[in-house]
């Protein structure tokens, strides 16, 4: 979700690799 990414960025997190991994896992 874009909102989640925005929230994470606001919190000061930038787990791009983790996010991509998560999305890949979800999409398969």
**Per the structure, how many domains does the chain have?**
1
Domain that holds residue 9: 1-27
Residues 26 and 9: their CA atoms lie apart, in Å, by 21
- Cα radius of gyration rounded to whole Å, the chain: 9
Is the entire prediction scored with pTM above 0.75? no
Question: pLDDT at position 13, please?
Answer: 65
Tens-place pLDDT, residues 13-25: 666 778 888 888 8
Mean pLDDT across 7-16: 69
Select the more confidently predicted residue: 6 or 24. 24
**Is the per-residue pLDDT at 10 higher than 80?**
no
| DSSP 8-state assignment for residue 13 | -
């Amino acid at each position: 979700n874009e909102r989640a990414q925005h929230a994470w960025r606001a919190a000061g997190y930038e787990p791009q690799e983790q996010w991509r991994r998560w999305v890949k896992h979800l999409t398969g």
